[in-house]
Amino acid sequence: MTINKEKNGDALTVTIAGALDIKTAPELSAALEGELDDVNEVYFDMKECDYTSSAGLRVILGTYQVMEEKDGKMALRNVNKPFMDILEVTGFLDFLDVEE
């Protein structure tokens, strides 16, 4: 998995390439540590991420909760079909914003 982060003002875009699973979720969690303190918007670009396990969903959920607590925004962008299917089956589409 590859993680790229880009800050633009109070917005953070995190691009994830590869599988987000039990082995790589801690890497994403570590990459986000301290980054959420001074942003009000977080966008995950999932174009190159075609799989997530529950461990990856936990990191996404944790980020969502941090943003909710500070009245911020979190959204997923460029979600491909396999990843979208996982979000649908797990019920994450009930509360997550997904942008094209």
Domain ranges of the chain: 2-99
What's the pLDDT at 100? 77
DSSP 29-80: HHHHTTTSTT-SEEEEEEEE---B-HHHHHHHHHHHHHHHHTT-EEEEES--
The pTM for the full model equals 0.93
pLDDT digits over 36-82, tens only?
Answer: 999 999 999 999 998 999 999 999 999 999 999 999 999 999 999 98
Place of tokens 């987000």: 20
How far is residue 93's CA from residue 17's CA, in Å, rounded to a whole number?
21
- Please state at what angle helix 54-69 crosses helix 25-32, rounded to 10 degrees: 20
CATH of domain 2-99: 3.30.750.24
